[in-house]
């Protein structure tokens, strides 16, 4: 869908890449031209690399890069090899496979995962949309379109086919969607409870899963989460549905340093300490918390 690693059910990988690759490949076309990569070169690399992978054990990233270099008719630069590796991924031809000696290896998709559902199955996108709404709701049509990298029309037709399985809920930014389920009923019934404080990691879906993050982050503070709008998301301190600061690991990972956007409330400070204790339990490392003076 974009240049980010995604974890999906194995049977959904091929139809998902088939569904989303059109826009991605179109967006990559100008970069391919700038690198001197023609359709003939792409076809040659695909044929040779997939044939070699079909006869090979799972390979490291370095081994895959060497395969691409051998398959290329010239002497490709580093950027060309990286672009062609992305082409193979976007088309669903390669994916991550087993870990070998701590390194995840790359495999030929059709040898690693079942073929699964056809992209022509009209129920596939509605099913995927239902899962997205379940994990992210309430969401807007624009949120879903951005997440899948698909036109709004595709998303609206998929939502229409879900009918009563999706609830329309009123939010400060307009009508959005939630799954019609007991879990949603529970969420809506507990909005009055004391807010929970969480230490979320960088690149958490609470930040990446929406096209508009204003529901959670003050506009003036977004640059503190993504400095310079460089695509690198810092870890966040979240209180209820609001991001109130960022945090980082210091002292070789043994302490947590927090950076509030304004001032943490006493309740948020207690939540940070509680979250740090839970993180200590999970990681087996005793963590200390550094709060601003």
10-residue stretch averages of pLDDT, the chain, 293 residues long: 82 91 94 96 97 95 97 94 96 94 94 77 92 93 95 96 92 89 78 80 90 86 88 91 93 92 93 94 92 85
Q: Give CA–CA dist 36/45, Å, rounded.
A: 14
Q: Give CA–CA dist 290/151, Å, rounded.
A: 45
CB 67 within 8 A of CB 105: no
Contacts of residue 14, defined as CB under 8 A and 6 or more positions apart, other chains included, come to 92, 109, 110, 113, 115, 116, 119
Question: How is residue 171 written in tokens?
Answer: 């939010």
First to last CA, the chain: 43
pLDDT of residue 214: 86
Q: Angle formed by the axes of helices 61-71 and 39-54, to 10°? A: 130
CB 272 within 8 A of CB 197: yes
Quote the pTM value: 0.85
Q: Give CA–CA dist 208/217, Å, rounded.
A: 12
- Domains (ranges, CATH) in the chain? 10-112 (1.10.10), 124-189 (1.10.10.10), 197-290 (no CATH)
Question: How is residue 138 written in tokens?
Answer: 């309430």
């Amino acid at each position: 869908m974009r240049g980010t690693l995604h974890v999906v059910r194995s049977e959904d990988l091929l139809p998902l890449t088939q569904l989303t690759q059109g826009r991605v490949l179109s967006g990559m076309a100008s970069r391919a031209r700038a690198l001197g990569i023609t359709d003939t070169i792409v076809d040659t690399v695909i044929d040779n690399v997939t044939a070699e992978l079909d006869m090979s054990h799972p390979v490291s990233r370095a081994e895959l890069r060497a395969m691409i270099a051998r398959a290329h008719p010239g002497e490709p630069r580093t950027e060309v090899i990286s672009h062609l590796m992305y082409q193979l991924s976007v088309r669903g031809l390669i994916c991550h496979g087993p870990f070998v000696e701590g390194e995840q290896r790359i495999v030929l998709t059709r040898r690693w995962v079942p073929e699964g559902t056809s992209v022509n199955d009209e129920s596939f996108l509605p099913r995927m949309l239902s899962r997205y709404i379940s994990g992210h709701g309430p969401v807007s049509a624009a949120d879903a379109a951005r997440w899948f990298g698909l036109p709004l029309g595709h998303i609206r037709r998929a939502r229409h086919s879900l009918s009563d399985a999706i609830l329309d809920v009123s939010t400060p930014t307009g009508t959005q969607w939630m799954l019609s389920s007991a879990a949603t009923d529970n969420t809506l019934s507990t909005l009055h409870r004391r807010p929970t404080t969480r230490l979320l990691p960088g690149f958490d879906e609470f930040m990446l899963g929406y096209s508009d993050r204003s529901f959670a982050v003050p506009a003036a503070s977004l640059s503190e989460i993504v400095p310079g709008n460089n695509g690198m998301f810092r870890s966040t301190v979240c209180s209820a549905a609001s991001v109130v600061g960022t945090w980082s690991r210091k002292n070789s990972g043994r302490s947590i340093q927090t950076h509030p956007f304004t001032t943490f409330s006493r309740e948020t400070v207690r939540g940070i300490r509680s979250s740090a204790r839970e993180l200590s339990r999970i990681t087996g490392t005793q963590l200390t918390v550094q709060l601003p003076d």
